[in-house]
Structure 1
Amino acid sequence: MTRTDRHAWLLPSAMADTPADSPPGRRPRRTVRDWVVDTLLFLLAAFVGLLAAETTDQLNSDAVAFADQIVGAAACSALWLRRRRPVAVAVVLTVVSTVAPVAGGAALAALFGVAVRRPFRETAIIGGIAVASSTAQVFLRPDPSLHPAVAVVIGIVLTLLVTAWGMLVRSRRQLVEALRERAHRAEAEAELRAEQAQRLAREAIAREMHDVLAHRLTLLSVHAGALEFRPDAPPAQVARAAGVIRDSAHEALQDLREIIGVLRAPGEGAEGDRPQPTLATLDALVAESRRAGTKVVLDLDLDLGTGDDAPAVPAAIGRTVYRIAQEGLTNARKHAPGTEVTVTVRGRPGDGLTVDVHNPASTGPVPHVPGSGQGLIGLTERATLAGGRLEHGPAPDGGFAVHAWLPWPS
């Protein structure tokens, strides 16, 4: 497919703009609108030809009048070929109208078709031929009822009016098709943006999957490792560890089911039906960690102000705080089991929120818990996207600390 073929749909007149020797099979058939327009132009050209024939009948012999009528009928019939060969039909009819005034209406109709369908250069050439033809007709077939100068002016004015009208129609068609193309492009760009948003949503789901499942599976690994290293543990402790393993496995399975469901149905909400964690659910996270055997100290100091218009912590910022605390507790269970983890959240509107998660170094054996090391990298990215920053590394006491600052608009 050539470049011309790919873009031929941009203009309804593209069919007529193809070369005159193109195979007929490549041209679409006339539509109902085309038949109506061609019929009206045929009737209009015939009407103008009849008016001219009445004048020539009075000034010429019967033989000349009969010949004019035959030529006028043939000229009007030739208009049905103007869509296939617009330039050729216009040139022939213009030349014929020089000696046969009854073909003048058909010549103007053909000129209009050229102005609608062909470039300006070809239209200007045909228009110039039409002006010369109308001027020559005044002297070859004069009309006694009109002064020659007036007849020349009328011919020039009619030619210019028809040419300008055809070019106006062409410009309007091009404008409509340009707007239509722009609308199609806008739709394509909207679809592209939707696909990009879908991809970003899936990436967010992957990050959520890492954060949530890492938390659940760490509980499984830690308590399974405790049962492995403490086979002589009291039955109550074994039962509690088994209960935590069972609950964590069940919740991890539910999280996986929701994630797979969202990925299979991208048109549904990416957040699923379960409510997303916020700052209000931080207490529940700490309570869950305590039930799993982790010592956690939560220091929550927020200046929420007073009154109904007091600014609340944005949901997105609260979710980021929750994920930072969750990842810190998960890492503490992995690398420093049995230590006391301190989670500190402080802030006020306008100053932002600070989140600190600290755990001392482990004094006992540390079971090997596999991990990808991507949790803190994902948290750093999450904090940056939220407009804040996150730092992590070894603490002065040999433990590990995570410090983050997040914006809290006033």
Structure 2
Amino acid sequence: MTSSDAPHPLLRRLLPGELRADGRRSARDRLADAGCVVVAVFVGLVVYDLEVAWRPQPLPELLAFADLATAAVLCLALFWRRRLPVGLAVATALAGTFSPMSSGAGIVMLLTVGALCRPRTVLAIAGLQAVATLPYLAIYPDREFGYAFSLVWTLTILAMVTGWALLIGARRQLVQSLRERAERAEAEQEQHVAQARQRERTRIAREMHDVLAHRISLLSLHAGALEFRPDAPPQEVARAAGVIRDSAHQALQDLRQVIGVLRAADAGEEPDRPQPTLADLPALVEESRAAGMRVRLSQRLPEPVAVPAHAGRTAYRVVQEGLTNARKHAPGAAVQVAVEGGPEDGITVEVLSRAPLGGAPGIPGTGTGLIGLAERVSLAGGRIEHGHTGGGDFRLWTWQPWPA
């Protein structure tokens, strides 16, 4: 867009904020402009025919030529009505003092000003058109009803068109306001989700930091023992090498989760050290039962201590989030927790929260817990599903692979 396409600085005060930077017209805008030109020509011809039919004397040739030329120029100028709405509206109002064929263009421009400009601008243009009717009725008197009746009738029609223009402007502003609110709410929601994901990534990174530090310290310890005791028995050397191999393997598994996760180093804040596993799951369930929840736990997998640590932590967090949501949104409802799987099938966790009895109100939540949980399960290479079932229960289901 060139600088010549922008509205005049004076018009920037009159136009609403969303129209201060003009863009290119779409095909729909061009079609609407062509329709406005056709309507303006049709209305102008009808008004001209009425004026000539009711006029007691023939219209002077000079006035007829001026009427035709002015109407032709103003009707063609309607293609630029969005770029110069106030200027064209003033021009059509001035032409309304002597040109009946320009009346159609005047109505179109009044409606255009109503759609694009502020109400005070619409009223100003309507007032200018009302003043223009005074010399117009003197040039084109009504031989049957007289000057006063024609003036009242013309002003009534003008008032109706002005009200229509104000209604169009009010609707446009309402739609624009609703659109801006929706866009702002969507942007805030996206920002909120991004912040929730970043917080969960930070928390996961802190946990992984502790795990990796533990693994690497074991590697350093056993490697140092081999370095300072080269004459150790073969059995001890083999055992130390096996520990080093297992620790390195576990460290690589943990590192796969932490890659891409940013760790926020908060000044003066000690990193969290929660290291729950599936072995801690019964304690979590008992804690919920002590709080008054009705929880039934079903585990069909190898011994919890045999489950890899980071996979157990993820499953633990899934159950923890499911119980937390049940306490929030379905107080007093029964909860079924099922954890099953194995090295070949992976680990599946399902938390089924029954519909609350009697529609008991729950604690409102923000939904960020499930967002963070989805991020955690995704980093573990798994899948997550959650939502209401046909019976009104809430089901949280996750699957993650069993690390080799």
What TM-score, normalized by structure 1, do the two folds share? Answer: 0.54
Using the TM superposition, give the Cα deviation of residue 184 of structure 1 relative to its aligned residue in structure 2, in angstroms. 3.1
1:97·1:104 contact (CA, 8 Å) conserved in 2?
A: yes
The match for 2:295 among 299, 307, 310 is 310
Aligned to 2:31: 36
Q: Quick check: 1:76–1:106 contact (8 Å CA) kept in 2?
A: no
Q: 1:191 to 1:52 in 2, by over 3 A?
A: closer
Aligned residue in 1 for 2:190: 191
8 Å contact from structure 2 (residues 111, 161) kept in 1: yes
2:41/2:105 contact within 8 Å kept: yes
User: Is the aligned partner of 1:56 residue 2:41?
Assistant: no
Distance 1:97 1:65 in 2: 18
Structure 2 counterparts to residues 75-94 of structure 1, below 5 A = 75-82=71-78, 83=81, 84-94=83-93
Shift of 1:16: 6.2
Flag the 1:196–1:213 CA change in 2: closer, same or farther, 3 A. same
Task: State the one-letter code of the partner of 1:188.
Answer: A
| Separation in 2, partners of 1:30, 1:310 | 63
- Measure the CA separation in 1 of the matches of 2:198 and 2:96: 67
Question: Displacement, 1:163?
Answer: 1.9
Point out where structure 1 has 5 or more consecutive residues left out of the alignment: 6-13, 265-275, 284-298, 327-348, 350-410
Give the drift of 1:147.
Answer: 4.1
Structure 1 equivalent of residue 206 of structure 2: 207
- For residue 133 of structure 1, report the CA deviation from its aligned partner: 2.0
Deviations 1:78-108 (A, max 9, x none): 1332424333332233233223334333322
Candidates 65, 71, 89, aligned match of 2:67: 71
Q: 1:145 to 1:38 in 2, by over 3 A?
A: farther
Determine helix, strand or coil for the equivalent of 2:60.
helix
1:249 corresponds in structure 2 to 248
C-alpha offsets along residues 137-180 of structure 1, whole Å, 9 cap, x if unaligned? 33442212334333222222222222222232223233333333
- Give CA deviations for 1:302-323 in whole Å, capped at 9, x if unaligned: 68979x943559xxxx99xx89
Report how far residue 75 of structure 1 moved: 1.9
SS class of match (1:99): coil
Residue 248 of structure 1: how far off its partner (Å): 1.1
Q: CA shift at 1:282, angstroms?
A: 6.0
The question of whether the paired residues in 2 share the 8 Å contact of 1:116 and 1:166 is answered with yes
CA deviation string 1:323-378 (max 9, x = no partner): 9xx9xxxxxxxxxxxxxxxxxxxxxx9xxxxxxxxxxxxxxxxxxxxxxxxxxxxx
Q: 1:280 aligns with which of 272, 278, 281?
A: 278
In the other structure, the counterpart of 1:116 is 115
* CA distance 1:146–1:109, shift in 2 (3 Å): farther
What is the CA–CA distance in structure 2 between the aligned matches of 1:233 and 1:254, rounded to whole Å?
30
Instruction: List runs of 5+ in structure 2 lacking aligned partners.
Output: 13-20, 263-273, 299-303, 314-326, 328-404
Q: Which amino acid aligns with 2:46?
A: L
What is the deviation of 1:60?
A: 4.9
SS in 1 for 2:142: coil
Q: What one-letter code is carried by the residue in structure 2 that aligns with 1:310?
A: V
For 1:213 and 1:281, how far apart are their aligned partners in 2? 20
What is the aligned-residue identity percentage?
38
| One-letter amino acid of the structure 2 residue matched with residue 89 of structure 1 | L
Write the letter of the residue equivalent to 2:43: V
Counterpart contact for 2:66–2:99, Cα < 8 Å: no
Shift of 1:256: 2.0
Residue 357 of structure 1 corresponds to which residue in structure 2? none
Structure 2 counterparts to residues 173-192 of structure 1, below 5 A: 173-192=172-191
Match of 2:215 in 1: 216
Does the C-alpha gap of structure 1 residues 280 and 45 become closer, same or farther in structure 2, counting only changes over 3 Å? closer
CA RMSD of aligned residues (A): 4.4
Shift in Å, 1:122: 2.4
What is the CA-CA distance between 1:128 and the residue it aligns to? Answer: 1.0
Distance 2:57 2:107 in 1: 26
Structure 1 CA distance for aligned equivalents of residues 6 and 111 of structure 2: 16
1:406 aligned residue:
none
Match of 2:366 in 1: none
Q: For residues 47 and 230 of structure 1, do their structure 2 counterparts lie closer, same or farther at Cα, with a shift above 3 Å needed?
A: closer
**CA displacement, residues 32-64 of structure 1 (integer Å, 9 cap, x when unaligned):** 333333333333333333233334334254452
Partner of residue 350, structure 2: none
1:371-398 Cα deviation digits (max 9, x unpaired): xxxxxxxxxxxxxxxxxxxxxxxxxxxx
What is the aligned partner in structure 2 of residue 46 from structure 1? Answer: 41
**Residues paired across the two proteins, number:** 276
Contact 1:86 1:110 in 2 (8 A): yes
Structure 2 residue matching 1:310: 3-state secondary structure: strand
CA distance in 1, matches of 2:284, 2:38: 89
What's the CA shift for 1:230?
A: 5.3
- Counterpart Cα distance in 2 of 1:174 and 1:131: 26
2:359 alignment partner in structure 1 = none
Equivalent position SS for 1:204: helix
Q: CA deviation at 1:127?
A: 1.1
Bigger CA radius of gyration: 1
**Offset of residue 71 of structure 1:** 0.7
CA distance in 1, matches of 2:94, 2:200: 69
Could you say if the C-alpha distance between residues 114 and 17 of structure 1 is closer, same or farther in structure 2, counting changes exceeding 3 Å?
farther
SS of the residue 1:107 aligns to: helix
SS of the residue aligned with 2:172? helix
